[in-house]
Structure 1
Amino acid sequence: MSINYTELSKEISYALRHAPWEYELELDAEGFVPIEQLLFALNESEKYERNIDLTDLEHIIKISEKKRHEIVANKIRALYGHSVPQMIKKIAGTPPAILYHGTTHRALKSILNEGLKPMRRQYVHLSIDTDMATQVGKRRDSTPIILQIDTVKAEDAGVHFYIGNERVWLCDFIPADTLTILR
């Protein structure tokens, strides 16, 4: 029996990022839950043709272009995109000198006046390249605006950056004066 891995990945992201309580999961300070707990919750619903197991989770992580999840020891977590009230601790780091953010035409005026805010998420998400920023921006606008962020200037202004994964950086806020419209 085959599993729709796209559907499963979306459900895991929803459970770990936005609604762990709906699955009776409790995130630790770093956003991890025991794999056994997640598998129990997924299999309890009987939504899938067969029971989901560790190899399914490993497969989702392996095939994901965006590297949304991570397994460490016997735990799994979403790497970014959280909207849960509990603040997920992230590892601080020094990002590349330039990062990018894809946004909508509708949001641009506000961003240029007030800076980039996390909105309904815990952190502002930034990409290491324009391709990913464009892909993210296209979720809400067919021709997104791509902003370029001067991370050195942002750090000088007191912004702290955190590692999301190898292509995504996170921060609490980006001041408007560190942004440039790339296209």
Structure 2
Amino acid sequence: MDAKNRTRVSKRLSLHLRHAPREIGLTLEPGGWIGVDTLLTALAAHGLRLTRAELEEVVTGNDKRRFAFDERGERIRASQGHSVDVDLALPTAEPPAVLYHGTVDRFLAAILREGLRPMKRHAVHLSTSVETATTVGARRGKPVLLSIDARAMTEAGHEFQLSANGVWLTAAVPPEYLSCP
């Protein structure tokens, strides 16, 4: 499968595993899981014929590791970023002292005033990498990098989870923990 088709399939998987499973008749199991065979059947019924090998290629070849198979390889889920109600059952984890978030200038004043909120998703997404956060911010224009004092947040009782693809998740980041480096 070429890169263009991998991207097309990845976007379709994101749509149905993160945002609109019911559009193709899926009901996500607890943890956001769905049987691989169930997913492939539903995709085929809605115009996307995909083999198990092609699905594995998209999952393992995705540079952002957006999707994960369970230990037995029988189920699949999106690693994070859901807008549908799903509890990924990720354990609370101790984050590094500083995390990063990429945004654009037009949102900066509101973020500095109100903090980071999950908006349509279930959690705020944070990165350990300046480069990753900058890349995320650049999707909407000239990126602005925010630093998050994760150590102080943890000490104040805020909880963090680490998704399978290395994205740090938290319910919200109050403005007092944000700075522009």
Give TM-score, length-normalised by structure 2. Answer: 0.92
Residue segments in structure 2 that go unaligned for 5+ positions in a row: none
Hey, what does 1:60 align to over in structure 2? 58
The residue type paired with residue 56 of structure 1 is E
Show CA shifts across 1:29-59 (max 9, x none): 2110111111001111234xxx312211211
Task: Return the alpha-carbon distance in structure 2 between the equivalents of residues 115 and 158 of structure 1.
Answer: 16
Matches of 1:112 and 1:44 in 2, distance apart?
Answer: 46
- List gaps (5 residues or longer) in structure 1: none
Question: Which digits, 9 at most, give the CA deviation of each residue in 1:66-88, with x for residues without a partner?
Answer: 11000012100000110013444
- Give the % identical residues: 39
Q: Counterpart in 1 of 2:151?
A: 152
SS, match of residue 125 in structure 1: strand
Would you tell me which structure has more helix in proportion to its own residues?
Answer: 2
Deviations 1:106-157 (A, max 9, x none): 111111111110011110000110111011111112x111001111101122
How far, CA to CA, are the matches of 2:69 and 2:85 in structure 1? Answer: 22
Alignment of 1:114-133 (within 5 A): 114-133=114-133
Instruction: Name the stretch that deviates more: 159-168 or 36-45.
Output: 159-168
Map of 1:28-177 to 2, 5 A cutoff?
28-47=29-48, 51-72=49-70, 73=72, 74-141=74-141, 143-177=142-176
Alpha-carbon distance between aligned partners in 1 of 2:128 and 2:167, rounded to the nearest angstrom: 6
Give 1:90 deviation, angstroms: 2.4
- What code does the residue aligned with 1:62 have? T
TM-score, normalised via structure 1 length: 0.91
Larger deviation, residues 110-119 vs 82-91: 82-91
- Residue-pair matches, total: 178
Is the contact between residue 100 and residue 127 of structure 1 (CA under 8 Å) also seen in structure 2?
yes
The answer to whether the 8 A contact 1:31-1:89 is kept is no
Deviation at 1:62, TM superposition (A): 1.6
